[in-house]
């Protein structure tokens, strides 16, 4: 162990108030314009949430939609090369889930813009990015089908919506 390094003091390259990288990431997360839209909504609220996001009242660039009780989640992004797109992370050890997710979009004639394997915290994951229709109703129907038929959620599943005007760089 290096006697000149004090791990309980902030490094010079970290922002004030941050002792380590986790503190810096938390600070960045809290200071970028994240706003929770709702914490206890369900699939019936999808169209309203998509409409609010697309109307740009909050100048949002990304909408995170997650099931409160499982790992089902998507990231809807505005301004990506496709205009409006959705990023879906699929567990590569569950080929049925991958098939279900792809099938939901294929039924609408939509195929992945991006299909890449990556390491995830729980094992190998696949990043699938699909273009979305820009009409709120059509996008909401597709996302509702994804949560209901792709991820197997019920209509009463509790969803969490969070918008951000910072679009994460995931590719």
Nearest to 154 by CA among 37, 43, 28: 43
Contact of 159 with 45, CB cutoff 8 Å: yes
Average pLDDT over residues 164-168: 66
Among 57, 65, 110, which residue's Cα sits nearest to residue 83? Answer: 110
What is the percent of the chain where pLDDT is above 70? 67
Reported pTM: 0.72
Check whether 112 has a pLDDT greater than 50.
Answer: yes
Split at pLDDT 50, 70, 90, the class of 70 is: confident
Is pLDDT at 28 greater than 90 in this prediction?
no
Q: What is the mean pLDDT of residues 48-64?
A: 78
Partnered with residue 130 across adjacent β-strands are 86
pLDDT of residue 25: 54
pLDDT for 13: 57
Give the pLDDT score at 11. Answer: 46
Considering only the top CATH level, what class is 37-164? alpha beta
Provide the token pair at 23: 């503190």
pLDDT at 1 > cutoff 80 = no
CA distances from 31 to 44, 57, 120 (A): 31, 19, 26
Q: In angstroms, rounded to a whole number, what is the distance separating the alpha carbons of residues 55 and 59? A: 8
Q: Which residues face 58 on adjacent strands?
A: none
d(CA 46, CA 137): 9
Taking Cα atoms as reference points, which of 151, 142, 155 lies closest to residue 98? 151
Please state the domain extents for the chain: 37-164
Report residue 86's pLDDT band, with 50, 70 and 90 as the boundaries. very high
């Amino acid at each position: 162990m290096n006697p000149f390094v004090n791990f309980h003091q902030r490094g010079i390259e970290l922002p004030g108030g941050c002792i380590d990288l986790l503190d810096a990431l938390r600070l960045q997360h809290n200071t970028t314009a994240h706003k929770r839209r709702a914490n206890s909504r369900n699939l019936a609220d999808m169209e309203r949430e998509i409409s609010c996001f697309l109307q740009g009242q909050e100048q949002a660039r990304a909408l995170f939609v997650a099931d409160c009780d499982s790992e089902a989640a998507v990231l809807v992004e505005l301004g990506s090369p496709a205009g409006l797109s959705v990023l879906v992370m699929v567990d590569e050890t569950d080929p049925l889930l991958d098939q279900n997710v792809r099938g939901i979009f294929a039924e609408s004639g939509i195929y992945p813009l991006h299909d890449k394997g990556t390491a995830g915290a729980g094992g190998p994951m696949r990043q699938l990015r699909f273009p979305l229709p820009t009409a709120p109703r059509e996008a909401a129907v597709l996302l509702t089908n994804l949560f209901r038929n792709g991820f197997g959620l019920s209509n009463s599943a509790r969803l969490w919506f969070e918008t951000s005007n910072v679009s994460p760089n995931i590719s």
